[in-house]
Chains A and B, each alone.
Chain A
Amino acid sequence: MTRPCLVTGARLRYDEVREEHLLLVPEGAVRLNPTAAEVLSLCDGERSVDDIVGVLSARYGGADVGEDVRELVDGMAGRGLLVDAGE
Chain B
Amino acid sequence: MPASERPFTLVAELSYQCPLHCPYCSNPVDIGHPRYRHELGTDDWIRAFGQARGLGVLQLALTGGEPMLRRDLVELCAGARDAGLYSSLITAGTLFTAGRARELKEAGLDHVQISIQSPVADENDRIAGNRSFEKKLAAARAARELGFPLTINCVLHRQNLDRIEELLELTVELGAQRLELANTQYYGWAVVNLEALLPTWEQLRRGEEAVARFRDRVGPAVDVLWVLPDLYEDLPKPCMGGWGRTALVVAPNGDVLPCQAAATIPGLEFANVREHSLEWIWNESDAFTRFRGTGWMQEPCRSCPLGRQEVDFGGCRCQALRLAGDPAATDPVCRFSPHHEHVVSVRESAQTGAKAPPSEAAGFPQFVYRAIKRPARV
Q: Are B59 and A28 in contact (CB under 8 A)?
A: yes
* Chain A residues positioned under 8 Å from B8 (CB to CB): 29
Residue A22 interfacial (CB < 8 Å): yes
State A7–B59 Cα separation when bound (angstroms): 18
State A22–B219 Cα separation when bound (angstroms): 24
Q: Are A9 and B221 in contact (CB under 8 A)?
A: no
The segment out of A10-18, A45-53, A55-63 that lies at the interface is A10-18
The minimal Cβ–Cβ distance linking B89 to chain A, given in whole angstroms, is 11
Q: Are A26 and B56 in contact (CB under 8 A)?
A: no
Query: A1-37 vs B: 1/0 string, CB under 8 Å?
Result: 0000001110101010110001010111100000000
How many pairs, one residue from A and one from B, have CB atoms within 8 Å of each other in the complex? 59
* Chain B residues positioned under 8 Å from A28 (CB to CB): 59
Residue B223 interfacial (CB < 8 Å): yes
Closest to A7 in B: B177
- Across the interface, B149 reaches (CB within 8 A) one of A22, A26, A78, namely A26
Chain A interface size, under 10 / 10 to 19 / 20 to 34 / 35 or more: 10 to 19
Closest to B57 in A: A17
Q: Are B61 and A27 in contact (CB under 8 A)?
A: yes
State A22–B61 Cα separation when bound (angstroms): 18
- Across the interface, B148 reaches (CB within 8 A) one of A9, A15, A22, A29, namely A9
Closest to A15 in B: B58
Query: B3-38 vs A: 1/0 string, CB under 8 Å?
Result: 100101100000000000000000000000000000
Assess A9 versus B53: contact at CB under 8 Å? Given A26-B110, A29-B58: no
Residue B364 interfacial (CB < 8 Å): no
Closest to B110 in A: A9
Assess A8 versus B147: contact at CB under 8 Å? Given A18-B3, A24-B58, A26-B178: yes
* Chain A residues positioned under 8 Å from B302 (CB to CB): none
The minimal Cβ–Cβ distance linking A62 to chain B, given in whole angstroms, is 34
Sample of 23 A–B contacts (CB below 8 Å): A8-B149, A9-B110, A9-B111, A9-B148, A11-B110, A17-B53, A22-B58, A24-B110, A26-B88, A26-B111, A26-B113, A26-B149, A26-B177, A26-B178, A27-B113, A27-B151, A28-B59, A29-B8, A29-B58, A78-B220, A79-B220, A80-B223, A83-B221
